[in-house]
Amino acid sequence: MIKGGDPGRLKPHVVSPVSRGQEGWSGWCGAAAIETRMSCGATPLRFVIMAHLVTDSQSGCDAEYPYAPRPPLLGQLSSPVEPKLDFWKTNRFSFLAAGLVLVFAVADFSILPISEFVDGDDWTLMLVGALCGAMFAQAALLSIFLCFTSGSFWRRLIVCWLAAAISWAIWIAGLAVAVLISYGQQPTAVHEGAEAMQFFGLALPLAGLAVQSPLWFFRLYLGWQLHTPAASQTPVRPLSIQDYLVGTGIAAASLTLARLAPPSKMWVHENYWQNWASFFAVAAAISAFSVAPALLLLFRLRRWQLGYGLLALYGSIGGAVVIGLIIRFAGPPPNLWPVLAVVVVFLSFALFLGAGLKAMRDLGFQLVLGQRRVIDAARHS
């Protein structure tokens, strides 16, 4: 203790009204108290040192506890604040998903009855093209769910084919209406409807395999996945013998069903399997050149509106390219209606595919590219 000392001999630590780490009224009061006590000449040295440390406790110096004040424990013990759910965003996703399901059901049911009224040179052909695009988008979304989402493969396969079976049943109801419109009460109506139901029902697995085949390349060899933050990320592992056996079995079953699809010899001609090969190649190419860019545009870009617009433009350009190829190899069409119908099919396909991916993005799905980078698009929507 220093008693009765000359205030001039002790140079008090000058503390600014706003010290480092102590702002406002508290720092100013601490400095004023020290200077007042030392001016009286009876300031204990211990009080001066401790007051200095209290005033400068948040100054960022190298001193640590116990040579500096104990750091506050409130920030360490406080639990993180859980983010609140966006109620409108959650319901918006529900409305979007419900709207897509309704549109797909209407397209499956109404495409064949409306086709009976197509004259070839009116706007009904445009409506049929839009419905075709919706059905193609439905097939692409089911394939995306099967190939890219995480979880058990067999569970995803069951869910995918259950949804496909429901869509096929709705399509069969529309087929019955179309047959009644076309044949009326003729005895051949039931026979024609049964043959069409058999052929398209048994050919559906091979058609689905054509759409899914390029997507498995992105999943198995490039590591693309779609998963939610709550789900554990499934690591990409090398293909095993069991995987090859399962794939071979699915392909063999699909080919067998396609072989049994024709109900009579009238449905089969000498180019039956050549036509299937051409269809498989075209469907796989369209799937590869449409689904992969759609995933990148809708999940990578922060502004989904920009990705959606680019996808619509991409679909329109794809339709124009297909029209150019058709004119190159088959000659020009008799009028512009078929040309417009092809553009409408591709544009409708892009719009409905983008809407489905936007619904998945709102749900919280993230795109994983090659197990290296997670693209959290839902956070920026």
Residue 80 placed within a domain: no
**Residue 231's pLDDT band (cuts 50, 70, 90):** low
Same domain, 106 and 59: no
Same domain, 184 and 285: yes
What is the tens place of the pLDDT at every residue in 140-162? Answer: 999 999 999 988 888 999 999 99
Same domain, 8 and 100: no
Is 49's pLDDT higher than 60?
A: no
Same domain, 209 and 341: yes
Which of these three, 74, 102, 131, is where a domain ends?
74
User: Rounded CA gap, 181 and 221, in Å?
Assistant: 49
Is 74's pLDDT higher than 50?
A: no
Residues spanned by the domain of 57: 1-74
Identify the bridge partners of residue 19 per DSSP, sorted by sequence position.
Answer: 22
The helix (run of H) or strand (run of E) holding residue 225 is: strand 225-227
User: Could you give the number of structural domains in the chain?
Assistant: 2
Identify the bridge partners of residue 211 per DSSP, sorted by sequence position.
Answer: none
Same domain, 174 and 274: yes
Residue 84 placed within a domain: no
Tokens of 7: 């205030």
Residue-level pLDDT at 10:
43
Same domain, 232 and 185: yes
Residue-level pLDDT at 38:
43
Residue 311 placed within a domain: yes
Same domain, 68 and 102: no
**Bridging pattern class, strands 225-227 and 366-369:** antiparallel
Residue 360 placed within a domain: yes
Same domain, 2 and 108: no
What is the tens place of the pLDDT at every residue in 91-137? Answer: 444 688 889 999 999 999 999 999 988 876 678 889 999 999 999 99
User: Rounded CA gap, 349 and 356, in Å?
Assistant: 11
Cβ-contact 293, 311 below 8 angstroms: yes
User: Rounded CA gap, 316 and 25, in Å?
Assistant: 66
Question: Is 326 in a helix, a strand, or coil?
Answer: helix
Which of these three, 22, 45, 74, is where a domain ends?
74
Residues 6+ apart with CB under 8 A from 74: none
Same domain, 242 and 374: yes
When pLDDT is averaged across residues 333-348 and rounded to a whole number, the result is 88
Residue 100 placed within a domain: yes
Residue-level pLDDT at 25:
42
Is 181's pLDDT higher than 50?
A: yes
Cβ-contact 295, 141 below 8 angstroms: no
Mean pLDDT of the chain, nearest integer: 76
Same domain, 305 and 241: yes
pTM here?
0.71
Residue-level pLDDT at 328:
87
Which of these three, 74, 98, 126, is where a domain ends?
74
Give the strand order in the sheet containing 225-227: 225-227, 366-369, 373-375
Residue 85 placed within a domain: no
Same domain, 138 and 22: no
Same domain, 31 and 175: no
Residue 83 placed within a domain: no
